[in-house]
Amino acid sequence: MTNKVVTMQEARHIKRSNILKGTIILTIAGFITRFIGFFYRIFLSNTMGAELMGIYQLVFPVFGICFTIFAAGIQTSISRLVAAELAKRNPKNAYKILRIGLVLSVTLAALLSVLVYINADFIAWRFLMEERSASSLRLLALAFPFCGVTSCINGYYYGLKKAGVPATTQLLEQLIRVVIVYMVALYAGNGSMKVTIELAVFGIVIGEIASCLYNVIALFVTKSPSELLILGPDPNAKATKRKRIAKSMLSLSVPLSANRLLISILHSIEAVLIPTMLRRYGLSTQEALIIYGILNGMSIPFIMFPTALINALAVLLLPTVSEAQAVNNNKLIGKTTAITIKYSLIIGIISAGVFIIFGRDLGNTIFHNEQAGAYLVVLAWLCPFIYLTTTLSSIINGLGKAHVTFINSVVGTLSKILLIVVLIPTRGISGYLIALLIGQLIITCLDVFAVMRNVQFSMDAVNSIVKPGLIVALAGYLLKESYEYIKKMTHINEVVFLLTFCFLLCVICTGLLLITKAISKKDFR
């Protein structure tokens, strides 16, 4: 066997290419998963109805809180510790870190699983204010230990810079969930589709079990950490004691989990308050759940769909900013910040244009619900702020100031909760939409202020806001008129016809932005 000598410079280049490759893999997997999930939500909304969709949405705040406790912080700490050991060329501790993480995560997950299962009626009645969600909570609790195993193994692979397994896990879980629910609904309904809340949750459980089994199998068949080292293991590296690893893991995961837990609790309170405040407005329980189901199960997923592009941008952005800061390259940080803000605004403005112009048609055609379309038009104004906040948060985190994004999120979410309590009982669902817009605006403004304090960059308002806004308005008006005219004269499938025009608006706007030099190849040099 011939030995290949690898220099440190070559090693760094290989590592950077591995990170970029991993990011691309995760981005593609995330986009496909989101695409499948989006159409799965359309399927659920059409087969369950708005009221059951509302009850189905209520169980996720509980899952979010539990997942934060047993998985979120531990997964990140495993990733960081494994990456640190490989950087020291000491792969001996990698499996040990994973094992300790698994013990901690699965123990917490099992405990929470039992607690939620036993107290499902109490949680459903006292916290979610909807007793019909109890059976779904019991079913969902069974998935906790499997989620814990999956998150730990994914964290281990992130630490190894091997994104293939986590990416496949995402796709597998989503595909199995959709196939199981579809097949059971088809079989149980004797050809006619009927999906219950319990069936939808059962699909989640089976999907999590399948992805867990895949991860465990992958762990035994993939390369060991020592085989992945470019320069080979350090012969002087020593194994670390379990007690020390556990201490390091807890010191990393506890503060991180505590921060995320607070955010998760606040978001859960916000979600539960909406139907409760709607009842105070004068709606019946059924009416409140129908509105909640339309909003969170139909309209908001539409608004969040383009974030697949923004999330990809954010994933690439964080390591770029961190590396530039490490070598004090403030010029690169400023340039990267200016470009990413510009393209986040452009994507946000184009997305807002699509939903403002075609929002009502999308609600009527895809969800067969006028309210979903009306909410889409209002929520469309959120797009530039949501997408910009994602980018700004990534910049701030890349600068090592994650506590700033945490504080900004808490302030914005608390503002939303206060406005929900004040506005919904007097204004109904329009009060929530106002609260949502103001809360998001507060978070965005705080993030903008934080970035301006820490980064020097020049903002190109003409190419970032003025040109995109005018182009979207003009192209949107012309396409909308063409859509209405042609629709009366054609018999093409309505969904395909509408989505084609939405896509055309995006393509035409992009083309005009290129022609007017609002976007340019120079931005990426």
Residue 259 lies in a domain: no
Query: 20, 240 in Cβ contact below 8 A?
Result: no
Mark whether 134 and 85 lie in a shared domain: yes
Residue 247 lies in a domain: no
Q: What is the DSSP string of 121-167?
A: HHIIIIISS-GGGHHHHHHHHTTHHHHHHHHHHHHHHHHTT--HHHH
Angstrom distance (rounded) from CA 194 to CA 106: 34
Angstrom distance (rounded) from CA 42 to CA 366: 7
Residue 302 lies in a domain: yes
Mark whether 49 and 111 lie in a shared domain: yes
Q: Whole-model pTM?
A: 0.74
Last residue of a domain, one of 201, 228, 255: 228
Angstrom distance (rounded) from CA 169 to CA 219: 12
Tell me which residue of 357, 385, 370 sits closest to 508, measured CA to CA. Answer: 357
Which residue type is seen at 313?
L
Mark whether 387 and 459 lie in a shared domain: yes
Angstrom distance (rounded) from CA 501 to CA 284: 38
Last residue of a domain, one of 212, 228, 244: 228
Angstrom distance (rounded) from CA 460 to CA 337: 12
Mark whether 147 and 275 lie in a shared domain: no
Mark whether 392 and 485 lie in a shared domain: yes
Residue 314 lies in a domain: yes
Query: 376, 363 in Cβ contact below 8 A?
Result: yes
The low-confidence residues of the chain, meaning pLDDT below 70, are 1-27, 30, 87-91, 189-193, 223-240, 308-327, 398, 400, 523-525
In the chain, how long is the greatest CA-to-CA distance?
Answer: 79
Domain with 197, as residue range(s), is 7-228
Give the count of domains, the chain.
2
Residue 124 lies in a domain: yes
Query: 346, 464 in Cβ contact below 8 A?
Result: yes
pLDDT on residue 524: 60
- Length of the chain equals 525
pLDDT on residue 12: 46
The structure tokens listed for 258 are 């505590």
pLDDT in tens, 42-63: 788 778 887 888 888 888 889 9
The structure tokens listed for 88 are 């020291």
Residue 26 lies in a domain: yes
Cβ neighbours for 308, distance < 8 A, ≥ 6 positions apart: 27, 30, 31, 34, 35
Mark whether 398 and 494 lie in a shared domain: yes
Burial-class residue 358 by CB neighbours within 10 Å (0-12, 13-18, 19+): buried
Mark whether 219 and 269 lie in a shared domain: no
Residue 251 lies in a domain: no
Mark whether 219 and 296 lie in a shared domain: no
Residue 277 lies in a domain: yes
Mark whether 34 and 136 lie in a shared domain: yes
Cα distances from 53 to residues 57, 98, 378, in angstroms, run 6, 37, 21
Helix (H) or strand (E) holding 510: helix 494-515
Angstrom distance (rounded) from CA 465 to CA 404: 26
Mark whether 281 and 176 lie in a shared domain: no
The pair phi, psi for residue 237, each rounded to 5°, is -70, 140
Mark whether 208 and 274 lie in a shared domain: no
Last residue of a domain, one of 183, 210, 228: 228
Helix (H) or strand (E) holding 249: helix 242-281
Mark whether 46 and 184 lie in a shared domain: yes
pLDDT on residue 401: 77
